[in-house]
Amino acid sequence: MNRFTVALFGAAMLAGCQDNGLSELENINLGAAPVIEVRPLALDFGTVEDNGQEIRQFVVTNIGDATLHVDSIDLVADAGFTILTEELNFTLEPIDEYPDAVKVVDVAFTPVNDDVATGQALVNSDDEVNSQVSVSLTGSSSAPWLTISPDPHDFGTQYVGIECLESQVITLTNEGLEDLVISGIAHNDASGLISMTQSPTLPLTLAPGQASTVTVEFDAFQSGNAEGTLEVTSNDPRGIVSAMQYADTQYALTTTDTFTQPTEVPVDILFAIDQSCSMDDRLANLQANFDTFINTISGVTNDWRIGVSTLAGGCFNNNSGSGSLWIDQNTPNYAGVFNWAVVEGYETTNSEKLFTQAIDSLTAGCNAGFMRNGALLHVVLVSDEAEQGTISPSSFVSQVETLKGTSSLVKVSGIVCPEPRCNTIYTPDTAVGYAEAITLGGGVRLNIMSNSWGQQVEDLASASLTGIGRYELTQTADPNATEVLVNGQTWTGWYYDSNTNSIVFTDTPPAGATITVNYGVAINCN
């Protein structure tokens, strides 16, 4: 007895209980109805290999007495399941009358991870009793599967400092059923605060259940937020698997130092001059342009002093009788004294060994007091031939910096031979040695063979003034969190010297200016 026979019998029984007796059956209009049947009600795809695909089917029929309308078949499932059948809105006539009235639905499973995938295919129809029939779906993968742990990892907040390091071991585990082959490991962090410091040799094969490690490090050397990404490339079906790390830094302390720019900024200039016979015309150019040189310097400061060295022993040349051997603003007729000093003397054993000549002048007792604390020392080498001495360029610059007590207040320039030949009449040599010393000393290289010295001498004077402002801060600063104001306005012409914890100006502030330095203080985690 199907459910329609039962319904008819029940209706007759109810009619028999009425006071008026049995009703005529033809007065009861039960009608026909569709009845959906879906077989099977579960599809198990089993274990599917990496990049593989399995297809299973279920069949929809109508075992009722009227046309069945299937509105849709909806997939509610984990990733990897797909209904391949295209027409999912269809009608089915009763199977008793139409034996071919069946609908076969194809479902495919392609694994995308190592977990057991589950879901349902929901068949929706106009069956009044079972309007929705569920077909359960189950499948799993045999592919390699990479798990990165921890993901994410938060280093938290750290104070900006020196050697403030924190490491985290990241574990790479194969949780799949096949060998995992890792071909690439990379780490990216735009801030530079988080980096990878240890990783395994590649390619690396991990058997199922096997693990390896990567170490990432957080270095809180500057303020800001960090977001690092570890990316691992392998034969995992996903290709690249990534893990995130986060960190944040802040300053334990911010502070302000205030200084006043001197009205007269000190600068000490040493001219070491080749006195060989080929230099006569060259030195005449230097004499002729001294006014340009000194006027450029005097436009910024009158606290300058000049030592001219041409003689054996290194003592400065000065015929003014003023007492000191160097020339300054107080030297009577200082322009005339300079012009005399440039050509004074004769060729000596050091005439073409200006590294030696300069060192002798800086160490000679007769020149004691020439170098002043806080003043820039600008050594200017003048020669039309190559350096002939035994002191190397790097050793020369290092010796000058040692005598000065700091590298930041030393500049080495030269009026020397151009490349590739200096003077075809007197020597085929280039300015070997001088060029390297000028590069190491951060100065300017001028052409001694030029017939126009005006601009060259002005450039030389400007080099004598660049960077002479230096202010040591009271606490260790982070240059990335340092702001410099001059008379309340932002100033960009400066750099931070970590060796001396000082602000050094490349663009000299005006005399008497108030200099304000706001900066974050970096702690020392050692």
Helix (H) or strand (E) holding 4, with range, is helix 3-16
Q: Tokens in use for 49?
A: 């290999």
Q: What is the pLDDT of residue 209?
A: 93
What string of H, E and C letters represents the secondary structure of 286-350? HHHCHHHHHHHHHCCCCCEEEEEECCCCCCCCCCCCCCCCCEECCCCCHHHHHHHHHHCCCCCCC
Q: How many residues belong to the chain? A: 526
Average pLDDT value for residue range 27-34: 65
Q: Tokens in use for 489?
A: 């306005």
pLDDT surpassing 70 at residue 27? no
What pLDDT band is residue 484 in, cutting at 50, 70 and 90?
very high
Average pLDDT value for residue range 413-426: 63
pLDDT surpassing 50 at residue 89? yes
Place of tokens 């985290």: 168
Report the alpha-carbon distance of residue 224 to residue 218 in Å, rounded: 12
Q: What is the pLDDT of residue 466?
A: 65
Q: What is the pLDDT of residue 100?
A: 93
Average pLDDT value for residue range 82-102: 95
Identify the weakest region by mean pLDDT among 126-130, 280-284, 296-300, 451-455.
Answer: 451-455
Q: Tokens in use for 443?
A: 């100065």
pLDDT surpassing 80 at residue 142? no
- Average pLDDT score, the chain: 85
Q: Is 271 within 8 Å of 306 (Cβ atoms)?
A: yes
What structural domains does the chain harbor? Answer: 1-31 (no CATH), 32-141 (2.60.40.10), 149-250 (2.60.40.10), 255-260+471-524 (no CATH), 267-467 (3.40.50.410)
Average pLDDT value for residue range 197-218: 96
Model confidence over 171-187: pLDDT tens digits?
999 988 889 999 999 99
Average pLDDT value for residue range 219-248: 92
10 CB contacts (<8 Å, ≥6 apart)? none
Report the alpha-carbon distance of residue 79 to residue 180 in Å, rounded: 21
Report which of 202, 251, 187, 259 is spatially closest to residue 222, judged by C-alpha positions. 251
Report which of 16, 117, 129 is spatially closest to residue 64, judged by C-alpha positions. 129
Report the alpha-carbon distance of residue 244 to residue 248 in Å, rounded: 14
**Beta-bridge partner residues of 61:** 37, 102
Place of tokens 């988080």: 194
Report which of 427, 497, 431, 430 is spatially closest to residue 469, judged by C-alpha positions. 497
Average pLDDT value for residue range 415-444: 69
Model confidence over 297-338: pLDDT tens digits?
887 788 899 999 998 889 999 988 777 899 999 999 999 999
Q: What is the pLDDT of residue 420?
A: 52
Identify the weakest region by mean pLDDT among 54-63, 217-226, 399-408, 427-436.
Answer: 427-436
Q: What is the pLDDT of residue 455?
A: 74
In a 13 Å sphere around the CA of 118, the CA atoms on its Cβ side amount to 4
Which strand ranges, in their side-by-side order, compose the sheet holding 211-219? 146-149, 165-174, 211-219, 194-198
pLDDT surpassing 90 at residue 3? no
Identify the weakest region by mean pLDDT among 121-135, 154-168, 498-512.
Answer: 498-512
Q: What is the pLDDT of residue 83?
A: 96
Q: Phi and psi (nearest 5°) for 434?
A: -65, -45
Report the alpha-carbon distance of residue 415 to residue 445 in Å, rounded: 6
Q: Which residues of 273-301 are buried (b: 16+ CB within 10 A; e: fewer)?
A: bbbbebbeebbebbbebbebbbebbeebb
pLDDT surpassing 70 at residue 85? yes
pLDDT surpassing 50 at residue 448? yes
pLDDT surpassing 60 at residue 424? no
What is the percent of the chain where pLDDT is above 90?
51
Place of tokens 């604390």: 373
- State whether the Cα torsion 416-419-424-430 is positive or negative: positive
Average pLDDT value for residue range 115-120: 87
pLDDT surpassing 90 at residue 59? yes
pLDDT surpassing 50 at residue 361? yes
The residue with greater pLDDT, 503 or 428, is 503
Identify the weakest region by mean pLDDT among 23-27, 35-39, 402-406.
Answer: 23-27
End-to-end CA distance of the chain: 89
Q: Is 148 within 8 Å of 244 (Cβ atoms)?
A: no
Report the alpha-carbon distance of residue 403 to residue 406 in Å, rounded: 8
Q: Tokens in use for 292?
A: 């340009």
Give CA angle at 372 (368, 378), nearest 5°: 95
